[in-house]
Structure formats: C-alpha cells, structure tokens
Homo-oligomer: A and B are copies of this chain.
C-alpha cells in the first residue's frame, strides 16, 4: 500500500486495543532504566499491527531487560513527520525508527527489495531470503551509509490487487483508469495506461466514492475492510502482484546500536524477529476472517486477475526493475541476489506449499 499518509478513519481503535492486549500487561518493575530510547514511526497512532506492532516490540524489550532498557514510541508527526524518520534516526536525533524500506527509495533505490517489489517473494519466501539467505546482510550493507542498522520487524502478508468498479478482463481494461497505487506498482500500471494517483489513506474512501479515482489498492482484507472500501467498490481483485509480502522494518542509529551492551543488542534483534512472526501470524488470521466477512456478509465479488493480464503485468514489472537496476549498481547487486534466491526457492515452493491441497 505504501503508507506514507495518515489513516484518519474511525473504527481502528477497537482492533488496535485488541492487538495491544495480546502481549499482556507488562509487570510493574522497580528497576531504573539504564537506557531510554526514542523510536519514531511512519504510522498513524493505533494503526493495527503496523503501529501496534512497534509498541509491542518496545514492550518486549522492556520486559526482557527487566525494565533496564526502555523504548518510547512516537507515531508519525508526534516528534518528526512520517517521512522524516529515516533521517532523524540516521543523524542521531532519535535512536530508532520504523517504516517500510520502499519509503526510502529516494535515498537508495536498492531499499525497495527489502520491503516488496512487483512479482517478488511472498512472506514465506522473503523471510527465508532475509534470514536463510543473504537478505539481511545486504540490507545492512545498503543502510550502512545512512548510519542505520535495519531489522525486519513485521510482514503484513500478500496484498490484494485492489478495488475496482469495472471488471478487468484484459490488459486494455486498465487503460484510462484513475487508480491510487503508489511506488513500483504504480510505475508498472502506468505502462498499462493507468493514471496513477497517490491519494493519502485518509482520502481514499471519499475520493473513490465521489469518482475522483476509479480504483485503489490499500493493504489486505483486514485493513481494507476497516477503511470501508467494500462500500464504494464492487470488485475486489487478487493477488497483490505489486506487493506479494510486504516487510516492515525497524532501523537503529548505528552508533547508538553499536554502543549497546551485548545483551541489549541481542534483546533488540530477537524482539524484532518475534514481532515479525507475531505480525504475519496475526494479519494472516485476521485477513482470513475479514475476507470471508467481505464475501459472505458484504457480498463483495472477489476475482482473480486473468492469467494473460498477470503475464503482461509481469513483463511491465521486469521493465520497471530493469530500468532501476541498469542505473544503480547497488540495486542491481541486491536484485541479482534476490532473483537468484527466488529461483532457488521457486521449485521447492511449487512442490511444497503450492501443492498442498489447502492451507
């Protein structure tokens, strides 16, 4: 979805509160904090999983350190603007931040592979690249010049292709459509004749209702339902070819991270990974329930993008990625490793997960 905008929609409070209780109340502790950090995010307050996940991470760090290491979390705009987080942490204004790596494409094109690229790896695949391949190592390399240490903090799963009021039966049906779709997905659809808009999250519903835009993507069934998109669009297309397993990140000021005692470094690293697993597990479960509700209760038509449409989008995606990697050697290095891994794991995914009769 690329969430560089605030979600001002009501109705998020309850879900966020429910998510926040999953960890349980932290035990009251008398220990005085030895270290207190500030962590700035790119998310609106209470956004389920994205912002509540960061808060959960901070709580885990406090619990595991017995209250000796505290991280105070600030939503976007509370200390620095959403898109200022990367720089604020890099220059040491605050020690930690959270976002999605494709937000920083303007700093480094290579960053995008650590969040999501069109026709890239799904959540299981990208986790495997990050921890079982060279992914995290390359990510550290890409962020090092910005004085940042990155860690995967979450994954919101495969996205949906978006909400439409017109059927997409052939690639030409995209022609002339005004669609909200940011980032690389937008560049790909522009090649198919879409007029791409970057409507902020808080305005999507109204703009779609009033016909300012014809179509939009957002995140997945859970977050899309909270935004009420099923009330203003008829067709819900899948799969999210443009973001097949979006990774969310924590990043830490390199000097601050390296100055930590070894035990606090380990606590941060391990807590990030645990929040990652909690997030993909929780969003998968809630996306499943939300999708059924959209279909059964709200009678949304959930449709697959036809094979030939997907094939064409894949061709355009390759063009977009080729243009980027031709101009940027670091992006090319990351892309080459990512693609090699995608091939390494592709056959296995086909005979394993995809061949299993159902999840």
Q: Could you say which residues of chain B place their CB within 8 Å of the CB of A355?
A: 238-239, 304
Whether A301 sits at the interface, judged by CB under 8 Å, is no
What is the interface of chain A mostly: helix, strand, loop, or mixed?
helix
Whole-angstrom distance between the alpha carbons of A221 and B129 in the complex?
18
Binary B-proximity of A262-295 (CB < 8 A = 1, otherwise 0): 1100110011011011101111111111011001
Whole-angstrom distance between the alpha carbons of A345 and B282 in the complex?
11
- Minimum C-beta distance from A129 to chain B (A): 7
Interchain CB contact under 8 A, B358 and A349? yes
Interchain CB contact under 8 A, A358 and B353? no
Contacts of A322-359 to chain B: CB distance below 8 A: 341-342, 344-359
Q: How many copies does the complex hold?
A: 2
Pick from B27, B310, B345: contact of A359, CB below 8 A.
B345
Given contacts A122-B353, A131-B282, A342-B358, 8 further A-B contacts (CB under 8 A): A127-B280, A128-B281, A130-B281, A158-B353, A273-B277, A274-B274, A288-B346, A350-B358
Binary B-proximity of A43-62 (CB < 8 A = 1, otherwise 0): 00000000000000000100
Whole-angstrom distance between the alpha carbons of A62 and B76 in the complex?
35
Most B CB within 10 A of own CB, among A239, A241, A285: A285
User: For chain A, which range describes its interface: under 10, 10 to 19, 20 to 34, or 35 or more residues?
Assistant: 35 or more
Interface residues of A (CB under 8 A from B): 26-27, 29, 60, 63-67, 119, 121-125, 127-133, 157-158, 160, 220-221, 238-241, 244, 261-263, 266-267, 270-271, 273-274, 276-278, 280-289, 291-292, 295, 302, 304, 310, 314, 341-342, 344-359
Q: Could you say which residues of chain B place their CB within 8 Å of the CB of A26?
A: 262
Q: Could you say which residues of chain B place their CB within 8 Å of the CB of A244?
A: 356
